[in-house]
């Protein structure tokens, strides 16, 4: 997959600070900056939802169900007469949060496994990678669905099941990177100094796998938002009355002919978020290529 390819290229970018390097390369890359702006705006909207939402998202006005956009309700109302704009703003909190949580949880499982496998090598590597492969054999979406169904509907179950099946990507990327990093002389130098194995992994190998992890996180968040939307769309994710984009899309879908905006608006938001994260990820991938990075002024 493309990401591992990138991971190879990202090996030890010339600059010392990952984040400084990332920031400067994003600025230079147009697509990445677009993605970043989209993400920042979406996050701001989500964070500020209580302040900027015109209505309480749970307030029902049964006299004005499925109303078209108006000066009062910019995007109209839903089937229970709740303000759609407010619901989408609040839904952004749920959807983005879920995306991020899913990703971080997956990374939290995958990264240590990858580090351990890649740095230790040998039997440990073989065992851990067989386990990873086993997980990869399952079609993830179906399993997440099945698990969500088994555990019962609810957001936390979606997050859990996503993490349970989403960590493999991180493990593979990190393992690949760790395999390369451990051959580098500074690891041998750390061994020669007497640094313990755990500390080498944590202080020496891990920071040098950060760049591809960040790229992967960015792309995974997009995927997770999509998964959450899909599961909510199928009715297994967030439960009423909580709003999420997938949920709105599902309900709105029923009324597609009556009020198209009801489903279009959340759909658009999902696409925006997913594209934003993917642009950022792609951009980071290109911009962080050490053979190009820093070589131009």
Residues within the interface to other proteins (CB under 8 A): 8-9, 11-18, 20, 24, 180, 183-186, 188-197, 203-204, 207-208, 210, 290-291, 294-297
> Is there a contact between 245 and 259 (Cβ–Cβ < 8 Å)?
no
Coil, strand, or helix at residue 83? strand
21, 24, 29, 32 alpha-carbon torsion, rounded to 10°:
70
Choose between 61 and 289: whose C-beta lies nearer to other proteins. 289
Angle of the 260-287 helix axis to the 210-233 helix axis, nearest 10: 170
- Alpha-carbon separation of residue 297 from 31, 77, 291, 292 (angstroms): 19, 51, 14, 11
Choose between 108 and 189: whose C-beta lies nearer to other proteins. 189
CA 101/CA 107 separation, integer angstroms = 10
Phi-psi region of 40 (alpha: psi -120 to 50; beta: other; left: phi over 0): alpha
Choose between 214 and 259: whose C-beta lies nearer to other proteins. 214
Q: How many residues belong to the chain? A: 297
Give the shortest CB-165-to-other proteins separation in angstroms.
29
In this structure, how many other beta carbons lie within 10 angstroms of the beta carbon of residue 147? 17
Peptide bond into 263 cis (omega under 30): no
Choose between 15 and 60: whose C-beta lies nearer to other proteins. 15
Give the shortest CB-114-to-other proteins separation in angstroms.
17
Give the shortest CB-16-to-other proteins separation in angstroms.
3
Give the shortest CB-13-to-other proteins separation in angstroms.
8
Give the shortest CB-190-to-other proteins separation in angstroms.
7
Give the shortest CB-277-to-other proteins separation in angstroms.
25
Choose between 267 and 290: whose C-beta lies nearer to other proteins. 290
Choose between 19 and 253: whose C-beta lies nearer to other proteins. 19
Nearest to 173 by CA among 135, 227, 123, 132: 132
Coil, strand, or helix at residue 291? coil
Give the shortest CB-199-to-other proteins separation in angstroms.
8
Choose between 71 and 192: whose C-beta lies nearer to other proteins. 192
């Amino acid at each position: 997959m493309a990401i591992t390819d990138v991971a190879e290229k990202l090996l030890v970018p010339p600059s010392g600070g990952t984040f400084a390097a990332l920031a400067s390369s994003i600025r230079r890359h147009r697509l990445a900056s677009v993605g970043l702006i989209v993400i920042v705006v979406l996050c701001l909207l989500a964070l500020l939802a209580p302040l900027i939402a015109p209505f309480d998202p749970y307030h029902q006005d049964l006299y004005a169900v499925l109303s078209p956009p108006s000066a009062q309700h910019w995007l109209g109302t839903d089937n229970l007469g709740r303000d759609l704009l407010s619901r989408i703003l609040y839904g952004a909190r749920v959807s983005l949060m879920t995306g991020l949580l899913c990703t971080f949880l997956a990374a939290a499982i995958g990264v240590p496994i990858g580090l351990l496998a890649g740095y230790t090598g040998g039997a440990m590597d073989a065992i851990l990678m067989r386990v990873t492969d086993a997980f990869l054999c399952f079609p993830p979406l179906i399993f997440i669905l099945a698990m969500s169904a088994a555990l019962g509907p609810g957001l936390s179950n979606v997050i859990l099941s996503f993490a349970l099946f989403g960590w493999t990507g991180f493990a593979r990327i990190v393992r690949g990177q760790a395999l390369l990093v451990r051959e580098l002389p500074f690891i041998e130098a750390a061994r020669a100094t007497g640094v313990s194995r755990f500390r080498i992994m944590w202080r020496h190998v891990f920071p040098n796998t950060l760049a591809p992890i960040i790229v992967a996180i960015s792309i995974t968040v997009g995927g997770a938002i999509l998964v959450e939307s899909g599961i909510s769309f199928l009715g297994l994710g967030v439960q009423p009355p909580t709003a999420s984009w997938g949920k709105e899309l599902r309900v709105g879908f029923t009324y597609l002919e009556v009020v198209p905006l009801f489903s279009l608006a959340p759909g658009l938001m999902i696409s925006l978020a997913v594209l934003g994260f993917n642009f950022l990820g792609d951009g980071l991938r290109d911009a962080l290529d050490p053979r190009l990075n820093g070589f131009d002024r």
